[in-house]
Amino acid sequence: MSVPSPKDQPAGVVRQRRLSDQVSELLRADIVERGLRPGDRLASEREMCERFGVSRTVVREAVQALAAKGIVVASPGSGLAVGTTSLEDVTELLQRFVRHGPEVRYRQLHEVRASVEVEVAGLAAERIDDAALTALHDLCDQLPGHADDIVEASRNDYAFHRGLALATGNDFFVMLHDVLGEALMQTRVATFSFDPRRIVVVARAHTDVVRALEAHRAVGARQAMADHLDEVLATWVRYDQSASSEGD
């Protein structure tokens, strides 16, 4: 999904990644994609050097980094084997798919997001604690203050929805949020830039969700989130139509 960024979005400094970090990422992705299980054997150092076109030193640094996280296990005389695959690894693989896989259209992402986040709001209403409520309240209060900073408003929006996922106490919801949230960050920036007045609209919608959470009303929280996401989709449609007409 390609969404133009606003001109005022800060450009990051691009740094060259170390070869060992690149090899580590490729090895982790290979383990997940091939469905390898703990104990399955991996290629030898020599084979990895040939496969990736790097030195043994680079391969050893990559393996050491993965071994420190328990992803691979090095056994003297037995070579390398798969350790454990963490939720973080699954998240990273899905993020790679969204970034570099087949084009994912906004409506597809929104359908998944709506299915997940409406339920997240309901579960959060049943399980949220005072600390999480306070954090969400603070984000609601801060959002209108970012009316002149689209990027910061988008980060606030992201943090609010991630806070809801955290409030469920279910790490899988957090994982799904992180995968979808990264992809949807571009749309947040684009739609806030298209209509900056939405920052106040979104702040009110978030507040409606928090009020339902505060009262532990799961049905009300689900409805408030559904209403919020309906407005998000409607704005995207207007933005997309405007962008298409400008391109004609």
- Mean pLDDT over the full length of the chain: 85
Distance (Å, rounded) from C-alpha 93 to C-alpha 228?
29
pLDDT of residue 193: 93
Q: Can you give the pTM of this predicted structure?
A: 0.65
Kindly give the pairing relationship between strand 79-82 and strand 72-75. antiparallel
Minimum mean pLDDT range among 12-21, 33-42, 46-55, 124-133: 12-21
CB 212 within 8 A of CB 123: no
Q: Where are the domains of the chain?
A: 19-82, 89-247
CATH code for residues 19-82:
1.10.10.10
One-letter identity of residue 199 = I
From the number of C-beta atoms within 10 Å of its C-beta (0-12, 13-18, 19+), residue 102 rates as exposed
Q: For 4-31, b where at least 16 C-beta lie within 10 A, e where not — what string? A: eeeeeeeeeeeeeeebbeebbbebbeeb
User: In Å, what is the CA distance from 165 to each residue of 19, 136, 159, 162, 193?
Assistant: 34, 11, 10, 5, 26
Residue of 110, 106, 109, 83 whose CA lies nearest to 94: 109
Query: Which residues, 6 or more positions from 181, have their beta carbon under 8 angstroms from its beta carbon?
Result: 158, 161, 162
Helix (H) or strand (E) holding 236: helix 218-247
Q: What topology does CATH give the domain 89-247?
A: Four Helix Bundle (Hemerythrin (Met), subunit A) (1.20.120)
Minimum mean pLDDT range among 30-39, 99-108, 220-229: 99-108
**CA max distance for the chain:** 65
pLDDT of residue 62: 92
DSSP string, 23-68: HHHHHHHHHHHTT--TT-B---HHHHHHHHT--HHHHHHHHHHHHH
Average pLDDT over residues 97-104: 54
Map tokens 């399980």 to a residue. Answer: 127
36-40, 93-97, 182-186: range with highest mean pLDDT? 36-40
Half-sphere exposure of 24 (CA within 13 A, CB side): 22
